[in-house]
Amino acid sequence: MKAVRKLAQGTGQVALCDIPEPDPRPGCVKIAVKAGGICGTDIHILHGGYAFNPPVTLGHEIAGEVVEVGQGVDRVRAGDRVTVLPSAMGRCGVCRFCKSGFYFYCVNRSSIGSKTDGGFAEYCVVPQDLIYLLPEDVDYRAGSLTEPLACCVQAVYELTAIAPSDVVLISGPGPIGMICAALVKLQGAAVILCGTAQDRERLEMARSFGVDRTVDVTTEDAAQVARDMTDGYGADVVLECVGVGPSVNQCLEAVARLGRYTQVGLLDHPAQIDFGKVIYKQLRVQGALGQAWSTWEKTLRLLRRGAIDMNRFITHEVPLDRWQEAFDNTEQKRGLKNVLCP
């Protein structure tokens, strides 16, 4: 079968390969992959960052059809339409994090698509306890975005208290920032979404999605916009979804005294941060990484209700043999979300 694989450590070393079609192990499910979303993590792995075990098939945002089940599988059957929780492989199940539902922090944990073979392939094999049935009205493309939606559900709903009266500033109009904006709007709050001149197309898209105000930070002062919308106080909440020092400092400047700050974007390198603003504004600062078991239940409930249309975030649907095009689109910020369709 065809699969997009990271073949060795270092920059590059990614190729479309012919590899044997996998068989389902006991307790596992074989999925015919119908859609796989490209994540920033995949780009990090392309350039040799993030933790991965080559050779490995990339792709952790997965949706597809069950075609075969291994011995002992009783939760799903052939023909089921499913998505995958990719980040709970190898968890021990007995540490304080596993027992409290926060498997993401188990030291034994690994992820599909980086440590074990993922979904940028015609087929993948996944343990049955990481399989979730797709709601009837959710197609495979939208279903492949369940994992990034879950990341945003944790950040917005589980970790950040947002009221309908709030003004929420979000830095970064990438897929995560845009999904967070949509979730905030479901809470009834006002959203300011910030980007750069390179994000012009995405900021226009955000306005069509109902974002209240967009800001090109190369020509406008985001903090002043936040103050203008809040009688001079500043944003009640900020969600930083870029993961670079200048954006963090912009958010700390824009948030109101006694405000709430949630760090969603991953900072891969040390950054010079004006942490004094946290003290003198008496901010509540929260990090948000991955998801918990409870997050997935909430996420699937949102999809079942049709509360959020994930298809609107997909701008490029690309066949597997054009994976390089989809990776380039993602890295160069062409459109919003790229999905590979094996």
For the chain, give the longest Cα–Cα distance: 63
User: Environment class of residue 35 by beta-carbon count within 10 Å: exposed (0-12), middle (13-18) or buried (19+)?
Assistant: buried
Phi, psi at 145, each rounded to 5°: -95, 10
What gap in Å lies between CA 240 and CA 334, rounded to an integer? 21
| DSSP code per residue over 80-131 | -EEEE--S-BT--S-SHHHHTT-GGG-TT-B-BTTTB--SSBSEEEEEGGGE
pTM of the model: 0.95
CB 132 within 8 Å of CB 69: no
Beta strands in 167-313 (DSSP E): 167-171, 190-195, 213-216, 235-240, 255-263, 284-287
Would you list the domain boundaries of the chain? 2-147+291-341, 160-287
Residue-level pLDDT, tens digit, the chain, 342 residues: 999 999 999 999 999 999 999 999 999 999 999 999 999 999 999 998 888 889 999 999 999 999 999 999 999 999 999 999 999 998 999 999 999 999 999 999 999 999 999 999 999 999 999 999 999 999 999 999 999 999 999 999 999 989 999 999 999 999 999 999 999 999 999 999 999 999 999 999 999 999 999 999 999 999 999 999 999 999 999 999 999 999 999 999 999 999 999 999 998 788 999 999 999 999 999 999 999 999 999 999 999 999 999 999 999 999 999 999 999 999 999 999 999 998
Number of other CB atoms surrounding residue 21 within 10 Å: 11
Distance CA 75, CA 84 (A): 13
| Whole-number Å distance between alpha carbons of 123 and 32 | 5
CATH T-level fold of 2-147+291-341: Quinone Oxidoreductase; Chain A, domain 1 (3.90.180)
β-strands 28-37, 123-127 pairing: antiparallel
Q: What is the pLDDT of residue 249?
A: 97
Q: What pLDDT was estimated at residue 49?
A: 81
Q: What is the pLDDT of residue 330?
A: 94
pLDDT at 50: 80
In this structure, which amino acid lies at residue 192? Answer: I
Q: Is the CATH number 3.90.950.10 carried by domain 160-287? A: no
Separation between Cα atoms, residue 111 and residue 2, nearest integer Å? 21
